Amino acid sequence: MKKIFSHPKSLRNISTHYCSGCGHGIAHRLIAEVVDELGIRERVIGICPVGCAVVAYDYWDFDCSEAAHGRGLAVATAIKRVRPENIVFTYQGDGDLAAIGTNETIHAANRGENLTVIFINNAVYGMTGGQMAPTTLLGQKTATTPEGRTSLMQGWPLKISEMLAMLPGVKYVERASLDSPGGIIKSKKAIKQAFENQINKVGFSLVELLSACPTYWNMPANQSLEWIKNSMIKEFPLGKIK
Amino acid sequence: MGKIIINKERCKGCMLCITFCPKGFISADKKLNKKGVKPVKFEENPECLGCSMCAIVCPDCCIEVYK
């Protein structure tokens, strides 16, 4: 028998701190697989966010840097400009990229920096205890919206990928979902495209991944995947945006 | 014919592999692991397709697939 699936080389063979059923583990693995397949492990530099994935540098076996909350793309811009031969990507959650880091995100995109952004959208703040994020759905109960989010009080879910796609500097935006084996395979394809764009100097590429947070959605892991399929995808339609 | 090997000590018991196994050969183990959760176990069966669905959805990269 031949081994057909195992741990990618760029992912350390250790247990992560993520909760059971968390989508971060899948996203980490997909990035590691893409880095291995493209043979860029010695060239890649990952920028880790503040959020649940703050210690992602402990899990990836390639060079990483940490950024202050939301400032991933500012740090990535600096590294890419000083070391243009390196492949620089940021890994950011919804609170990091679409709330505290909106300024850095929009301006890095508007400058058309040749960077890759992996945006994990789980509609909630995970690390700080399940508070409302900009991408929280209407009616979704969180620690700070115990009666459910209402447009009157908290506004509508922020579609940051669609907003960024409007900018001329942005070359590739795709939204995929980590809700099923098929969705995970499509997500990997999108991540690979975003990295290839940077290698080919195409420009700013962003992949948004709809990811499960069973702990703060208060449901078992398999139900949280159903919730992505039945609720999240309606608000955040999948596919290539630009 | 396929076969999987599960890293039971790393498994967090999310059971996503059970949900997506088309043949239903994966189930919850009765014995707890060191984390204190019930990991999953695989019953070897020549009808296992080696389709890797379980490994693709595993958030903790606990599953190795052989075919």
**Residue A129 forms contact with B (CB below 8 Å):** no
- The first and second tokens of residue A35, run together, are 């880095």
Q: What is the pLDDT of residues A228-238, one digit of tens each?
A: 999 999 999 99
Q: What is the pLDDT of residues A66-94, one digit of tens each?
A: 999 999 999 999 999 999 999 999 999 99
Q: What is the pLDDT of residues B11-43, one digit of tens each?
A: 999 999 999 999 999 999 999 999 999 999 999
Task: Please give, rounded to a whole number of angstroms, the shortest distance from the CA of B4 to a CA of chain A.
Answer: 9
- For the A24-240 domain, the top CATH level (class) is alpha beta
Domain ranges of chain B: 3-66
pTM: 0.97
The interface predicted TM-score (ipTM) is 0.97
Q: CB burial class (10 A; 0-12, 13-18, 19+) of residue A73?
A: buried
pLDDT of amino acid A185: 98
pLDDT of amino acid A98: 96
Summarize the confidence of residues A98-127 as an average pLDDT. 97
Tallying the residues shown for chain A, one arrives at: 242
Q: Do B14 and A21 touch (CB under 8 A)?
A: yes
Q: What single-letter amino acid sits at A117?
A: V
Residue from B7, A191, B44, A145 nearest A136 by CA: A145
pLDDT of amino acid A237: 98
Chain center to CA of A185: 15
Longest Cα separation, chain B: 32
b (16+ CB within 10 A) / e for B32-64: ebeeeebbbebeeeeebebbbbbbbbbbbbbbb
Taking contacts as CB-CB distances below 8 angstroms, the residues of chain A near B64 are 3, 5-7
Tell me the fold of B3-66: Alpha-Beta Plaits (3.30.70)
pLDDT of amino acid B50: 95
CB A27 within 8 A of CB A211: yes
